[in-house]
Each structure stands twice: as C-alpha cells, then as structure tokens.
Chains A and B, each alone.
Chain A
C-alpha cells in the first residue's frame, strides 16, 4: 500500500485514460483496507483509484512500479481479484495513504465483475510502457500520415479494414463469454461430485454419527435433489432410457405420492421431478414415455387416465374402495361439497378432488346438484333414503 500516492484524476501530458471499472476494493497484500467500492481507472501511466461517491479520496500508483500480474478466479462468496506485484518504492515519492507495508503486492477485488477486460487494458498499458516515452504531440492535421499509420486510411481499403477489425472484436467477445460459461459448467460438475462424496462419506461413517443425525442429513441431501440423474448421455436412448428413467421416477416419487393421498397429477409430477433434477431437465414427453413403462417394469406406481383426460400417477397399493368410502364420509359429514371445498378439506388439488367425487358418484355414493351456483355433491339420499 505504501507505493500508492495521493493523486488526482487529471491526466498529465501524453497520458491516456484506457478504462474504468466500478466496485473495486483495494487489498494491501492479504489484508483488507478501507478503500472499498471505488472506481479504478487505468491510464497509460498510472493505476488510479478514487471513491465512487464523495470522490474526495484519490490514490494513484505509477505503472512503472508494477512487476507482474496474477489472476485469482472468483469463488463462493469471493469476488475475482487481480494481484499486482510491485517493486520496492522509489525514494522521494510523494506522500501516500501508508508509509510502510509488509507486502510487496496489492490486490484489486472486482465486486462488480469486469476483471477480464480490466486485466486486458492493464496488460496493454504495461506492454506499451508509455511512461518511458517522451511525449510526442500528435501530428498536426494535414501532415503526412505516418505516426497514426493505418488507422484512418480512407477509401475501400480503409472500410474493409474497419469491417475486419469489428469482426475480430466480436469474435473475441464471443470467445470470452463462452469461456465464462465453461467455467460455470465446471463448477456445477464440482458441486455434483461434492454432494456425491458427502453421500459416500455418510455411508462409510454411519457408525460414528448417530442414526438420527444420519437420517436428518440424508433427508437434507434428498431434498436437494437427485444426486445422479438418469440422462440420455449416461443411459442410452429410446426404450432403455425410458425404462431407467421410470425406475428413477418410481424411487423418487413413491413416498411423495403416498404422502398426498396416493395420487398425483402429471403436472405436479413434472414440476417435482424437474426441481429435483436441477440441471438435467426432462421434457414432458420423456416423462410420459417413461411413465408408460411403469406397468411393464412392475414398479410400485402406475399411470392412470381418467375419463376426463386428466392423467395422474397413483401408487399401486392405492385402493379405490378406500377413496370412495372416505369421500362419501366427508360429503356426508359436511352435508354437501363442491370439488373446491373437498380439495381444501383433504388437501388435494381441485382436479383430483373432482375426480374423486365423480368416481364416488359413479358407484352411487353421492349425487349431484348442478345449478347456476355450481356443481355440488350431496350424500346420495335418493338411493339410501326411502
């Protein structure tokens, strides 16, 4: 930090401003400083940091002191950083925020991102070393083009060249953006392997932690998702894929289906499964195809289509008599019910509640009252009362 000087943002003769980046915090080596949330500015001669608001504090660092640069990638709750290694301070430098420092480097933390571009300009400025050159005033207009060669060439060649330049620029920016994506993918992979390793660790150390804790932790992990989802890449295509997927679905859904009364609509299933799978989403069609193999594989859940066209998954142990009996009882105890009221009463979706009522009606358990006030179901007194 002792290489910094109090400075100003005014450019000296021959100095160019290259880029600005907001959200920069300065670190003196490993330790934090009070200089946070500022704007960093690279000029051809200096690295300037100033407060983003207020703008009273302004620090400058001559680029001549920079020895080399190092990049630190961002991590969990950590911004990306650039480490700037510095040579020892020259004697007789102007006053700065610190008189001495135990570090030979400072770090710039990029809390708003943008370190890639910033680094590029910094490298460029270091390579050009403009601070060593004597300032040459630009050639006056009309002078033969020499110093600024190539840049403003007129005519077709000039146009072609500028088009080429633009293309190059887009190419590089596309490359860069894909680089970022690649990194993200790698991180996701890491997360998956991490969760897997936790699962195996739990399995190995089952003796050391109590049963209770294991169960609790496992349930956390399960709620996080499916640790190793079946994908087309890993399990082939076509029927084989669907069968594997069906097995996965059965193991994941068996319990939730039982918990919500033995039946779940396909829309709910679709949402739940994809939430659990996280990255490896499946299409509705794949889901349906997989569900159609349930019966053949003798899995504990089955696909069922109601006459209304509503599709649900229901557990094989699900008994209709039970549902009919229960629905009849609820309707009898309430006097009369609409599908919405039944849904609230037993905690089901309205679609399923209606299916239950229709099923019960089909066997004569309830009868309907279809008026302007909506469709209500009554205990079937027409049959039972004489």
Chain B
C-alpha cells in the first residue's frame, strides 16, 4: 500500500471551507468524494469511522487546515447519494461502509470475468470467487464477503445469476 497521491486541491486552503457558492461547492464536494474513495481504495478498506477519518483524511497539517465536521458530513452524504456509502447504523451515523465500487460495478466486473472464462451456467462457491487461486489478480479478489454477496445480489436482480446454498457452503450460478 503506497500512500495516496493527494489531489492538488489538498494544498488549496479554500478546499477546507465549505463554499457558499452552489456551483463551487458542487465541484468541491466532487473532489472530496473522489479523494475519499481513492484513499479507501488505496487502503483496500471498506469501512470508515467518521471521527478517525476526520483527522486522517480531512486534515492537512502542512497548511494547518481541517474540514469542519459539518463539511465532513456533507461529503459523506454526497457519497451516500451516489451509492458509495452506507451507514452501519443510520441513526447514529458514526461508522459507515464505503464502497469505492458500488455493488453494481462489482457485479458487472464479476460477470465480465465469468463470461470471459466461459463459466456461464456453471456453479462456483463464493469462496472460490473471492479467494480461489483462479481469480488471483482480479480486482474482486479478496473482496469482503458482505460486499461480494451484495454484488451478486444485483446480478440476481437482473436475472444473470442465482445465489444458492448447499452443505453449509454458498454458491452462485451464472446465466
């Protein structure tokens, strides 16, 4: 894990003040969202504690700026609207799941891999998909269980896959 490449905005002080101008703010939030996702992707992490993130992601000690808490919430809300974020407990909003690829995007990636390997109409276990030797090197290799299942559920909705369980194992069949 190398350190994330900081966007240029990170050293631009106004980046850390929520802009009152709507157009400017929109651009600002977009940049923040991208940065947060990039950061998570780099850490290959899917969960985020809002207080930890505040000092880890939303602070630039070099120019002595910190995005205020309401700004952080605004960024996270923006992520949620785009489908990248889910609160573990929507009432508390302290911890959240960050999906730098949405389940749909993961589903498409997996389906593309399956069809390229002509594995349509075959059944494989979830363990095989995420941790099997065959998928090593694929983007979804090592994907957390919950997210993998969510991704497959989106495929199921489109009628491209069917989740099944047998012998205490979970498997999926692609169509």
Task: List residues of chain A with CB under 8 Å of any chain B CB.
Answer: 336, 361-364, 367-371, 376, 378, 380-383, 385
Contacts and interface: CB of A to CB of B under 8 A. Distances in A.
A376 B64 CA distance: 14
Contacts of B124: none
B132 interface: no
Main SS at interface, chain A: mixed
A368 B23 contact: no
B36 to A, nearest CB: 16
Contacts of A367: 14, 17, 19, 21, 24, 28
A380 B25 CA distance: 11
Contact of A378 (B13, B20, B64): B13
A155 B24 CA distance: 93
Contacts of A378: 12-14
A287 to B, nearest CB: 32
B169 to A, nearest CB: 48
A361 B23 contact: no
A371 B64 CA distance: 9
B14 A368 contact: yes
A80 B19 CA distance: 71
Main SS at interface, chain B: helix
Contact of A382 (B20, B27, B65): B27
Contacts of B166: none
B147 interface: no
Contacts of A376: 13
Contacts of A336: 13
Given A361-B20, A361-B24, A371-B13, 15 more contacts: A361-B21, A364-B23, A364-B24, A367-B21, A368-B14, A368-B20, A378-B12, A378-B13, A382-B9, A382-B19, A382-B27, A382-B28, A383-B23, A383-B24, A385-B8
Q: Which one of B19, B64, B65 has the highest number of Cβ atoms from chain A below 10 Å of its Cβ?
A: B19
5 contacts: A361-B21, A368-B19, A368-B20, A383-B23, A383-B27
A271 B27 CA distance: 45
Nearest to A384: B27
Q: Which one of B14, B15, B24 has the highest number of Cβ atoms from chain A below 10 Å of its Cβ?
A: B14
Nearest to A376: B13
Given A361-B21, A385-B8, A371 B16 contact: yes
A89 to B, nearest CB: 94
Q: Which one of B20, B24, B28 has the highest number of Cβ atoms from chain A below 10 Å of its Cβ?
A: B24
B162 to A, nearest CB: 44
A363 B20 CA distance: 11
Contacts of B8: 385
Nearest to A361: B21
Given A381-B12, A382-B12, A369 B27 contact: no
Which 8 residue pairs across A and B have the least CB separation, nearest first? A369-B13, A367-B14, A370-B17, A369-B14, A378-B14, A382-B27, A382-B28, A367-B24
